[in-house]
Amino acid sequence: MVKLYTFHLSTNGRKVHMALEEAKAAYEITPVNLMKGEQKSPDYLKLNPNGKVPTIVEDGLVMWESVAILLYLAEKFPAANLLPSAAQDRARAFQWLVWQPTTFGAPASSLFRQLRFTPEGQRDQNAINQARAEVTKNCEILAGGLQGRDYLAGRFSVADMALLPYLHVLAELSIALPAAVDAYYKRLSTRPSWGKVLAYTG
Ligand SMILES: N[C@@H](CCC(=O)N[C@@H](CS)C(=O)NCC(=O)O)C(=O)O
């Protein structure tokens, strides 16, 4: 049994939640309410000293960092085929798995924070403009990666699960996506695993 500590609106938590669903893993969720600061409680910090979600606990293993968890789950549940087996397809998956947290995630989250959580009068217009420009550039890069393929690593994999929660954030902000990225987002959104993730409200 995998124990997932997450917050229902967490993009990083949603990646792992989706992977557990895709793997048909036995799991249970322990909610960590980020709005109440529960991620900084002494008990939670013993599991994850970063004071962030997600964390998984499984059979003595305590693990954080969502992308690392995705790779662990892909290995742990081979029948679910969460990573391609051909070396070049795996290489593509690894590339996007690193790109998502290092490049794609931050400007998308920054835009979300500014436009959703910051009262209009207190917004930082320079930060918004910069985040928008980065999001636009990144979406073009993503569209390039999707040229000739439906999924980033050829077939559906954990790389797509890393991107989907962030594309969802952009869609919630009504940010226009390049056609290939929009079609990709819609393709991923129809997966029952994602439906389960969105239905979880803590
Ligand atoms: N690199 C970490 C980032 C985790 C992260 O930033 N989680 C956010 C939610 S999406 C969080 O817990 N924020 C609460 C805080 O920083 O206090 C991962 O991928 O797991």
Q: What is the pLDDT of residue 62?
A: 98
Domains 2-81+195-199 and 87-191 share a fold: no
Task: State whether the beta carbon of 48 lies less than 6 angstroms from ligand 1.
Answer: no
Class of domain 2-81+195-199: alpha beta
Which element (helix H / strand E) includes 31?
strand 27-31
Ligand 1 centroid – CA 56 distance (Å): 13
Q: What is the pLDDT of residue 202?
A: 86
**Whole-number Å distance between alpha carbons of 202 and 8:** 5
Q: Which residues of 131-145 are buried (b: 16+ CB within 10 A; e: fewer)?
A: bbebbeebbeebbeb
Pocket test for ligand 1, best of 7, 41, 52 (most atoms within 8 A of CB): 52
Q: What is the pLDDT of residue 192?
A: 98
**pLDDT tens per residue, the chain (202 residues)?**
999 999 999 999 999 999 999 999 999 999 999 999 999 999 999 999 999 999 999 999 999 999 999 999 999 999 999 999 999 999 999 999 999 999 999 999 999 999 998 999 999 999 999 999 999 999 999 999 999 999 999 999 999 999 999 999 999 999 999 999 999 999 999 999 999 999 999 8
DSSP 81: -
**Whole-number Å distance between alpha carbons of 78 and 82:** 7
**Whole-number Å distance between alpha carbons of 137 and 158:** 23
CA 52 vs. chain centroid, Å, equals 14
Task: State whether the beta carbon of 101 lies less than 6 angstroms from ligand 1.
Answer: yes
From the options 1.10.1380.10, 2.30.38.10, 1.20.1050.10, 1.50.10.10, give the CATH code of 87-191: 1.20.1050.10
Sign of CA dihedral 184, 187, 192, 195: positive
Task: State whether the beta carbon of 131 lies less than 6 angstroms from ligand 1.
Answer: no
Residue nearest to atom 5 of ligand 1 (CA): 52
- Cα–Cα distance list, 176 to 75, 84, 99, 136 (Å): 35, 30, 21, 9
Q: What is the pLDDT of residue 161?
A: 98
Q: What is the pLDDT of residue 147?
A: 97
**Whole-number Å distance between alpha carbons of 179 and 137:** 14
Q: What is the pLDDT of residue 153?
A: 97
pLDDT of 98-125, one tens digit each?
Answer: 999 999 999 999 999 999 989 999 999 9
The full set of domain ranges for the chain reads: 2-81+195-199, 87-191
